Amino acid sequence: MKSRTWQSRLPERKADPAFEAMNASIGVDIRLIRHEIAASKAHAAVLADAGIYTPAEHDSVNRALDSLAEEASSGSMDASGFEDVHSLVEHRLTELCGGAGAKIQTGRSRNEQTATAQRLYMKESASAAAGAIQSLMNAMIEKASENMDAIMPGYTHCRPAQPIRFSFYLAAHVAGLSRDMGRVQDALRRLDECPAGSGAVAGAPFGLDREKAARLLGFAMPSLNALDSVSDRDMQIEIVSCAALLMVRLSRIAEDLILWSSPAFGFVSLGDTYCTSSSLMPQKKNPDALELIRGKAARVAGDLTALLMLCKGLPTGYQKDLQEDKERLFDAVDTVLSCLAVFEGVVREMTVNAGAMKSAIGPECMATDEADMLVQKGMPFRQAYSQVASAIAAGEYGNGTAAVSPEDSVERRRSAGGTAKSRVAAMLEAARTSSPIM
């Protein structure tokens, strides 16, 4: 293990390999190296303004940081033996430009560095997630538009309820995804505060220009309180919470499509790209992509729970426990981005069997329509309901036929939010023309 930046405080310290491995986070936080280098460039600029760096030193540090960025992007940087990404950048900077590099930590702490790098990462990741959600919504809108006339049973309690358009079903999930998008947008607004210049706990000395650091890093403003900046992890929790809610939605859609693509339903067929087969049974076509997405929803929920429990009961101020935040954040972001990409492919390759959908609509699905027709003749609804219900209970309902057709039934639902064709078309057009949230 390379020499620690704090080694002079404990000159007689003996290393325990088990603890050294536990204490090091470089294997996880190395993926923040671009963000750490960007934050170091901004910090060098404010140090120059404060007179800590001469113009020549500032130029030397900038060139060295550019060189480190090239190393990082090419994959040639050797991170082995370092405690974390922050000490790696400081060490390499000092190697490249000597005393000027050794000045880079003036007025700052790893406590603020990890908060700043993570915020930069979360801004990028939230924007990427917003784009991926929009792409999935677009795929659903296109699939719904292609299948406007496919009518299927709508289900409650896993039992056929009333006829709906398949496009209406997809539009329902487009509406839900738009809320997921809104949550990401809200999180992006709250993310737009820069922790740089917060120091370890009390803020930075030397009159460092935090507004400039924030501006250079693309933030709207510096964070309001240094203590809050270094000790709070609510943004990590919020981002992972957005991911967990989104994954629950994807899991529910996946469950529907797993069932509806089975031989028992046959409503949809999944593209071969997103299925596998059995190593034993040659007839199988297994919906593995959807099953994996359903399973990964539990994984992201676990990431959220871990972060909540990590922060519960911690005293105010940075604590080493918080080193555990990044793995959960990275896992949730990686998982949700991969699932969104795969789900978009599933939707685009899926084919709809409108005939099987319509065949599954039994006459009982129009029972409410029959009660409504009695209401139109002046009968109170509860009396109409009882009359139809009694006929169903006696096995006499419709004699195998319904009073209205499935097409008539869906068109009767013309109120706002209903499954009539004009209403579904309006939903899809509104979703299609709404501005993507980025």
**Catalytic residue numbers, as ranges:** 157, 278
CB 350 within 8 A of CB 253: no
Residue 328 neighbours by CB distance under 10 Å: 23
The helix (H) or strand (E) run that includes residue 153 is strand 151-156
Element containing residue 211 per DSSP (H, E): helix 210-216
Write out the DSSP string of 328-375.
HHHHHHHHHHHHHHHHHHHHHH-EE-HHHHHHT--GGGGHHHHHHHHH
Nearest to 112 by CA among 267, 270, 248, 222: 222
Q: Is 422 exposed, middle or buried (0-12, 13-18, 19+ CB in 10 A)?
A: exposed
Task: Tell me the helix, strand and coil percentages in the chain, rounded to 5.
Answer: 65, 5, 30
Closest CA to 208 of 47, 93, 410: 47
What does residue 159 show for φ and ψ, rounded to 5 degrees? Answer: -125, 145
